[in-house]
């Protein structure tokens, strides 16, 4: 009996403890406020085709300082979008023709025992805007760069066109050289032992600003020089001098002078420096391949090779530079076309580019653009669509287009639907040569009934695509006259008949 009482008291204490724990958890749960879903860009975003986008969802709770969250979707995400359920980051990139989408994104909070379970959800809309994307990336040519086995080397890769930012890679590089800066396309390093030779390198650039344009590749030849390519030279223990000179072509900026891979001097145009070699032996002199001026559209490029081996018998290294100008191409109105030919051109060389003659887009029905002329960097004009001109300054070559709008002339009598392209801003006129046609009713047409155009001629200011409907009004003059004549004839005949009937009666009476 005593043992039973002890067990009974223990059960009662256990029930009391469980009850108090449940009450405490419930009170703490009820004290927590609801969770609220937020997003950094708004729950409706407009996204261009081929343009990457992201939406960062977040959640806040008034009483739970650090809720444990996960995100989820009701409905179906479009094939071009992905949601990270842990971080709430929605990313994607619609392809050409991908539709807009609507779905629900929710967030749930699990933070026991303090806050219990709460959730929130919102409707998300992605509006996909069609875009006339032109994949026009072109890797600028690389003119046979020369590296030296065992010495530091660096070169830049450049691209014109595209959206950007870009990511570079290269295949076929000799050991020791890599694309050390993929964002800016910089190849550098030191060619390792035994790499002397000729390499065909394939440079590849990826446009991360769009998901519709393919990568662009371009091959170039890279020479790795070495001492084995030169005949043995007998060196003397005495000292000897060699001279490095920069030609007058470098009119802005300075170039580094690297001797055996070490920076020894910085020279400008028409400057030189003499170096002493102790003991007298051969050295590799390298200068910068490209010197960028203060103007980003002007640079200086070494003429020929940017390296020279000096010896006791050939102790003079001369480097000169050619000025290059960047010619940008665009269109007016902007964005309707991307003319070809962007890039750097040596002063005195010839720019060569082209642009479409006529541009029509599916997004602008009833509007087309017709090439008029080029506006050149020096302010002159050129009417040829295939443009060639000597380069003597940096600037922009703009392909100027005239805008034409479609004018549609419609008529029911007779059925007419004629179209013509009219210059935007001009006044278009029309004149219908047919001034009247018979009525549709055969009876009224037989009696001379016609319909006439109300607006047989007129004009229209072309501010956009327009449709002119010819309006017609009936003319009942002919049928009315015919009916009156018929009625008069019938009346006359009736009168004549009545007179003829009266005459015989009068004779018989007399």
Judge whether residue 320 has pLDDT over 70.
Answer: yes
3-class state of residue 250 by DSSP: coil
pLDDT tens string 367-385: 999 999 999 999 999 999 9
State residue 288's pLDDT score.
93
Cis geometry, peptide bond prior to residue 82 (ω within 30 degrees of 0): no
Query: What mean pLDDT, rounded, does the chain reach?
Result: 84
Domains annotated for the chain, with CATH where assigned, are 35-129 (2.60.40.60), 138-322 (2.60.40.10), 325-400 (no CATH), 406-478 (no CATH)
State residue 234's pLDDT score.
44
State residue 238's pLDDT score.
59
Q: How far apart are CA 507 and CA 169, in angstroms?
A: 129
Judge whether residue 235 has pLDDT over 50.
Answer: no
State residue 83's pLDDT score.
94
End-to-end CA distance of the chain: 163
Judge whether residue 200 has pLDDT over 80.
Answer: yes
Edge-to-edge order in the sheet of strand 450-453: 437-438, 450-453, 472-475
The string of DSSP codes covering 52-108 is: -EEEEEEEEESS-SS--EEEEEES---TTEEE-TTT-EEEE-PPTTPPPEEEEEEEE
Q: How far apart are CA 251 and CA 244, in angstroms?
A: 17
Q: Which residue has the tokens 């519709």?
A: 212
Bridge partners of 430?
458
Q: Which residue has the tokens 């009476």?
A: 509
Bridge partners of 374?
382, 399
State residue 16's pLDDT score.
43
Q: Which residue has the tokens 């650039």?
A: 205
Q: How far apart are CA 25 and CA 114, in angstroms?
A: 7
Structure tokens that stand for 488 in this block: 């008069």
Structure tokens that stand for 100 in this block: 């807009």
Q: What is the 3-state secondary structure (H, E, C) of 414-481?
A: CCEEEEEEEECCCEEEEECCCCCEECCCHHHHHCCCEEEECCCEEEEECCCCEEEEECEEEECHHHHH
Instruction: Compare 62 and 409 and report the one with higher pLDDT.
Output: 409
Measured in residues, the chain has a length of 510
Structure tokens that stand for 468 in this block: 């002119």
60 confidence band (pLDDT: 50, 70, 90): confident
- The answer to whether the CB of 455 falls within 8 A of the CB of 471 is yes
480 confidence band (pLDDT: 50, 70, 90): confident
Backbone CA torsion sign across 489, 491, 495, 500: positive
pLDDT tens string 423-449: 999 998 888 777 778 877 787 777 777
State residue 65's pLDDT score.
60
C-alpha distances out from residue 430 to 50, 162, 223, 458, 472, Å: 43, 45, 70, 6, 16
Cβ neighbours for 68, distance < 8 A, ≥ 6 positions apart: 109, 110, 111
Count, in order, helices (H) and strands (E) of the chain.
3, 41
Q: How far apart are CA 119 and CA 71, in angstroms?
A: 10
- The answer to whether the CB of 378 falls within 8 A of the CB of 418 is no
State residue 365's pLDDT score.
87
Over pLDDT 90: what percentage of the chain? 43
């Amino acid at each position: 009996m005593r043992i039973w009482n002890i067990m009974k008291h223990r059960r009662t204490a256990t029930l009391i403890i469980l009850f108090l724990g449940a009450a405490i958890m419930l009170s703490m749960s009820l004290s927590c406020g609801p969770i609220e879903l937020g997003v950094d860009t708004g729950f409706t975003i407009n996204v261009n085709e081929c343009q990457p986008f992201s939406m960062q969802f977040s959640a806040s709770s008034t009483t739970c300082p650090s809720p444990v969250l996960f995100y989820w979707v009701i409905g179906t995400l479009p094939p071009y979008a992905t949601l990270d359920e842990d971080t709430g980051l929605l990313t994607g990139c619609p392809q050409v023709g991908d539709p807009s989408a609507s779905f629900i994104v929710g967030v749930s909070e699990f933070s026991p025992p303090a806050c219990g379970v709460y959730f929130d959800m919102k409707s998300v809309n992605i509006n996909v805007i069609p875009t006339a994307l032109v994949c026009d990336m072109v890797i600028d040519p690389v003119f046979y760069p020369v590296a030296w086995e065992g010495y530091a080397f660096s070169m830049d890769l450049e691209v014109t066109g595209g959206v950007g930012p870009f990511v570079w890679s290269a295949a076929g590089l000799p050991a020791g050289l890599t694309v050390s800066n993929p964002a800016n396309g910089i190849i550098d390093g030191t060619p390792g032992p035994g790499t002397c030779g000729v390499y065909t390198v394939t440079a590849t650039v990826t446009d991360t600003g769009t998901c519709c344009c393919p990568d662009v590749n371009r091959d170039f030849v890279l020479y790795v020089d070495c001492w084995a390519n030169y005949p043995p030279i007998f060196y003397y223990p005495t000292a000897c001098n060699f001279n490095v000179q920069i030609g007058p072509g470098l009119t802005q900026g300075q170039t580094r002078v690297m001797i055996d891979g070490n920076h020894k001097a910085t020279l400008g145009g028409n400057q030189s420096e003499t170096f002493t070699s102790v003991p007298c032996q051969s050295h590799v002199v390298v200068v910068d391949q490209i010197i960028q001026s203060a103007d980003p559209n002007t640079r200086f490029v070494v003429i020929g090779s940017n390296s020279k081996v000096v010896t006791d018998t050939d102790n003079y290294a001369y480097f000169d530079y050619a000025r290059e100008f960047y010619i940008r191409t665009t269109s007016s109105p902007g964005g309707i076309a991307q003319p070809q030919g962007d890039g750097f051109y040596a002063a005195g060389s010839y720019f060569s580019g082209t642009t479409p003659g006529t541009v029509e887009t599916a997004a602008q029905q009833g509007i087309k653009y017709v090439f008029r002329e080029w506006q050149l960097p020096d302010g002159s004009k050129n009417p040829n669509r295939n443009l060639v001109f000597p380069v003597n300054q940096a600037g922009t070559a703009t392909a100027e287009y005239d805008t034409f709008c479609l004018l549609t002339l419609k008529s029911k009598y007779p059925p007419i639907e004629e179209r013509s392209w009219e210059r935007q801003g001009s006044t278009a006129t029309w004149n219908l040569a047919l001034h009247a046609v018979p009525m549709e009713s055969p009876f009224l047409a037989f009696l001379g009934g016609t319909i006439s155009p109300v607006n047989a001629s007129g004009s229209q200011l072309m501010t956009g695509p327009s449709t002119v409907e010819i309006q017609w009004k009936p003319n009942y003059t002919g049928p009315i006259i015919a009916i009156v004549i018929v009625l008069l004839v019938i009346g006359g005949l009736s009168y004549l008949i009545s007179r003829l009937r009266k005459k015989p009666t009068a004779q018989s009476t007399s």
